[in-house]
């Protein structure tokens, strides 16, 4: 008969506890698609002129140019998407810009639907600005990685003395990058490292 040690039993209990916790999180996340779909439908109803009092479509706002219709459709879609995720923990954690937060952006989109191209540029620019805060840093990182790779490839054609000299300079740059990354990691949301709990189970 195989005897399970106390240490292994603790690991099993911890793994079971973490699995139960993750199961609850997954169940909660499964509710989001339905909320997102409901908000998209509400946005489409407004776009088509749905009257909640008569429960019918009066056509308000759809007798205009194709361009205005397209602009309103995009704003209604964005309104539905953002409304569906605004309460998500991953959004609320980082939605700390008082001047342009997700609630103000949603309200702006809601007020802009029906005004066509007149309001399109200003409303959508708020969404673009917030997404740009993330994407521009990623694009800069991709550019830096590509540039470093090209520099290393180019070094292979140079003399050994020049390579040693350039690598000495580059080593100092890499050390500074590591130090900057270490400082930046301290500012990360602690919840982003939650998955590390699983690695701790096997590492004890």
Q: Mean pLDDT throughout 13-31? A: 62
Cβ–Cβ < 8 Å for 72, 61: yes
Average pLDDT, the chain: 66
The CA dihedral of 37, 42, 43, 49, to the nearest 10 degrees, is 150
Nearest-angstrom CA–CA distance, 146 and 3: 54
Nearest-angstrom CA–CA distance, 129 and 100: 9
Q: From residue 159, how far is each of 100, 136, 156, 165, 166 by CA, in Å?
A: 53, 36, 8, 10, 11
Q: Which residue has the higher pLDDT, 47 or 182?
A: 182
For residue range 78-129, list pLDDT tens digits in order: 777 777 666 666 566 555 655 556 666 666 666 666 655 556 566 666 666 7
For 163, residues 6+ apart whose C-beta sits below 8 A from its C-beta are 155
Q: Which of 101-110, 130-139, 153-162 has the highest mean pLDDT?
A: 153-162
What are 148's strand-pairing partners?
none
The pLDDT, as a whole number, for residue 37 is 67
Residue 136: how many CA atoms within 13 Å on its side-chain side?
A: 6
Q: Mean pLDDT throughout 171-185? A: 78
What residue spans define the domains of the chain? 1-30, 33-150, 156-186
**Can you read off the two tokens belonging to residue 125?**
């620019």
User: pLDDT at residue 47 above 70?
Assistant: no
For residue range 163-172, list pLDDT tens digits in order: 888 888 888 8
Nearest-angstrom CA–CA distance, 181 and 170: 16
**pTM greater than the 0.75 cutoff:** no
User: pLDDT at residue 41 above 80?
Assistant: no
The pLDDT, as a whole number, for residue 180 is 78
Q: Mean pLDDT throughout 138-150? A: 82
Query: Residue 204 — very low, low, confident or very high, per pLDDT cuts 50/70/90?
Result: very low
């Amino acid at each position: 008969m195989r005897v399970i040690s106390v240490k292994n039993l603790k690991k099993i209990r911890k793994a079971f506890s973490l699995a139960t916790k993750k199961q609850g999180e997954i169940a909660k996340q499964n509710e989001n698609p339905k909320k997102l779909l409901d908000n998209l439908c509400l946005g489409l109803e407004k776009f088509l002129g749905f009257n909640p009092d008569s429960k019918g479509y009066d056509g308000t706002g759809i007798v205009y140019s194709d361009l205005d219709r397209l602009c309103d459709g995009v704003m209604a879609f964005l309104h539905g998407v953002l409304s569906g995720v605004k309460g998500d923990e991953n959004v609320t954690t980082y939605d700390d810009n008082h001047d342009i937060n997700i609630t103000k952006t949603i309200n702006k989109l809601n007020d802009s639907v029906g005004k066509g191209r007149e309001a399109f540029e200003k409303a959508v620019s708020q969404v673009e600005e917030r997404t740009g805060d993330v994407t521009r840093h990623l694009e800069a990182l991709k550019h830096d990685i590509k540039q470093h790779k090209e520099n290393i490839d180019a070094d292979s054609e140079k003399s050994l003395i020049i390579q040693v000299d350039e690598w000495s300079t580059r080593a100092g740059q890499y050390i500074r990058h590591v130090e900057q990354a270490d400082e930046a990691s301290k500012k990360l949301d602690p919840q982003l490292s939650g998955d590390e709990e699983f690695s701790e189970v096997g590492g004890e």
